[in-house]
Amino acid sequence: MNGHRAVLASDGLTPPAGAARKASKVIRIALAGNPNTGKTTLFNAMTGSHQKVGNYAGVTVEKREGRRLYKGYEFQVHDLPGVYSLTAYSMDEVVARDFIINERPDVVIDVIDSTNIERNLYLCLQFQELNVPIVAALNLNDEAISRGIQIDEKRLSEILRMPVIKTVGKKSVGVEQILDKAIVVFEQKEKPAYEVSYGYELEEDVQAVIAELKKDDVFCLRYPVRWCAVKLIEKDARADELVGMHTAAASVRAVLKERVKRIEEHFGRDSSIVVSEQRYGYIHGAAAEAVTRLHSDKKTITEKVDQILMDRVLGFPVFLFILWSIFQITFKIGAYPMGWIESLFGWLSSLATSVIPAGILRSLLVDGVIAGVGGVSSFIPLIILLFMFISILEDSGYMSRAAFIMDKFLHIFGLHGQSFLPMILGIGCSVPAVMAARTLKNMRDRVITVMVTPFMSCGAKLPVYVLLAGAFFPKHAGTVVLSMYVVGATLALFSSLLFRKTVLRGESTPFVMELPPYRLPTVKGILWHVREKTFGYLKKAGLVLLPASMLIWAVTTFPKSAGDAPKDVAMAQSYAGQIGRGMAPVLAPIGFDWKIGIAAVTGFAAKEMVVSTLGVLYRVEARADEKSDSLRSALRRDPTFSPLVAYVLMLFMLIVVPCFASVSVIYSEIGFKWVMFAITYWTVLAWSLCFVVYHSGRLLGF
């Protein structure tokens, strides 16, 4: 046993003799650590391009897996969610902990921020309680050196009884040494026995609970006994569930109750707080032995920058200016490649029209396939630019600060500080915005955020606003369009407050997030983020919108009219027209006729399709858009339309069920029950608010 401990604590980097000559062995690695420790960068350095992204079974927490062949071993690296502890407080923590307990990886590589070692070691001690083989990666070592922090990794390794390696993930420094140590740990004949003591007073109670747990041999084989004992004293709900499977559950709970009472009477505090204090006491002692801080009174660059960006007065205006700048640059620069892509698909459409004889096949390819793919593809430049800027904000460390700035305001309406990012992204597209809600730890916060994010006017709704505002409010078009964004944000805030007070009662999760130091984002890191998120957009949106567009083509084309009927007549007789006429009694109270009903149906595929649908219905050019004078004139000539009806239609398109792609992503994120509730809420709210506005406007003479 002592021999194996010597191997663990040594600083040698040589794997076991003959390791490179052995046939390939599989080493399953769990890469874990706090958020903002550079874990993802280290993961990329370990695995390169050999990665895949998905979700953990049954939950929407994203998982990344990668592999690497090294010295005759195949490393299968599982990048766990970044967490601060293994308490069952958030979905990320549950996923990380259950993976360690149930999947039993061969080695856990705990990525530790060298500039904040005491905070990061808290998670490391909990891994030791699980009694899993650990290798610690002291990452961001270059930043620690620049801040005058010197860490004696040999001494720290001796204290913690596990290998400790200094790394700089963005430069791939220490990556091979980490893999070498993982081989050493993997090849050990006996598992490490960590000797973490939280003081003799608390240890007496821990050992008493352990003695009761050991009465069930099967339980001891399935779960780490010390970890379970400590978690029971911490009043962990998941650990209490596990005890229910113990053959002597009643006896264990009786001893636990007695010991918790003794701890709380002795220390005068809740037992969970006592355990946390004892962990930090152990960590403080370890850090005092192994960490030296030079010129600690000197202000860091992060502290100097935060004096401006986190200022109580300047912080919020600076944040708004940054967001305004991002969207201005995104849409102005993105307009050029968007135009190129639209021209490309326009050329393809013309080519297909000239080559393929008139008929169903040409209509399907031109109006269904090419139009569907083109509609999705035209947004790619905006998605790339937006994600690039968001990635820069994330990797630089500013995004965490922006969440803190917004938390106090959003908390008034029952929203979490991190809800602001999905809501802001919703101005671009609801699909990535909904996916961004995964950063929220609490399921209640996530569901609320997902359901209110579609109220933010996405880019697809803008053509509808521009068309109607330009036709009926030519002198005040800008103000009218802006009012849609203001109304959407207001509805999002008050809807979240309503949900918090009714179907999703409870306070929002306390917003606890460490502010990482400012770092210069790397080109490689930004490109990786953009690639992953862009592919995610294409997979979630593109593959859904294409069949949806083809479906809309089908319902607006069939059944075919007899002879060469005009387009508006053919549309009226189609399935979509029949649906529109069937909806007329429901839509009439808010001022809409059957034509608007058809546009509402096609808008479910993509909101921008409302414009082209109206163009067909009003017999204007086939490629009518929001800037088409003939379409605006046609709408003004229709007695059904008026400035009031136009505004109500904009309001309806803002609130009603979002596009099919968004609904499908919402379903994957929050499940069937909540997506059906959301669809019902959006529909009822849209009709009710439009009814009030329409009839109020008529009473006022509009």
pTM of the model: 0.60
pLDDT in tens, 469-512: 888 998 888 888 888 988 999 999 999 999 999 998 876 665 55
Contacts 24+ apart (CB under 8 A), 524-527: 524/44, 524/170, 525/40, 525/41, 525/44, 525/170, 525/391, 525/395, 526/388, 526/391, 526/392, 526/395
Is 428 in contact with 534 (CB distance < 8 Å)?
Answer: no
- Give me the CATH number covering residue 116: 3.40.50.300
pLDDT in tens, 403-450: 777 777 888 888 877 787 788 778 777 877 887 787 676 788 889 999
pLDDT higher than threshold 70 for residue 518: yes
Mean pLDDT score, 186-199: 76
Task: Output the six-digit token pair for 109.
Answer: 């590589």
- The order of strands in the sheet holding 164-166 is 51-55, 62-70, 73-79, 25-33, 107-113, 134-139, 164-166
Q: Which one of 256, 275, 293 terminates a domain?
A: 293
How far, in whole angstroms, is CA 359 from its chain's centroid? Answer: 44
| Most confidently predicted of 196-210, 425-439, 524-538, 541-555 | 196-210
Domain that holds residue 676: 545-699
Peptide bond into 589 cis (omega under 30): no
Is 282 in contact with 125 (CB distance < 8 Å)?
Answer: yes
Q: Are residues 10 and 60 in the same domain?
A: yes
Q: Are residues 289 and 148 in the same domain?
A: no
The answer to which of 256-260, 289-293, 547-551, 660-664 has the lowest mean pLDDT is 547-551
Q: Are strands 291-293 and 149-151 parallel, antiparallel or unpaired?
A: antiparallel
Q: Are residues 571 and 647 in the same domain?
A: yes
Is 243 in contact with 210 (CB distance < 8 Å)?
Answer: no
Q: Are strands 25-33 and 107-113 parallel, antiparallel or unpaired?
A: parallel
First-to-final CA distance of the chain: 87
Q: Is residue 364 part of a domain?
A: no
Q: Are residues 654 and 563 in the same domain?
A: yes
pLDDT higher than threshold 50 for residue 359: yes
CA distance 181 to 109: 10
Q: Which residues contact 661 (CB under 8 A, 6 or more apart)?
A: 430, 431, 540, 541, 544, 545, 548, 606
Q: Is residue 445 part of a domain?
A: no
- Domains in the chain, number: 3
Q: Are residues 68 and 213 in the same domain?
A: no
Q: Are residues 169 and 205 in the same domain?
A: no
Q: Is residue 256 part of a domain?
A: yes
The pLDDT of residue 627 is 53
Greater confidence, 254 or 436?
Answer: 254
Q: Which residues contact 660 (CB under 8 A, 6 or more apart)?
A: 544, 545, 548, 604, 605, 606
599 pLDDT tier (thresholds 50, 70, 90): confident
Mean pLDDT score, 90-116: 87
Task: Output the six-digit token pair for 507.
Answer: 């306070």
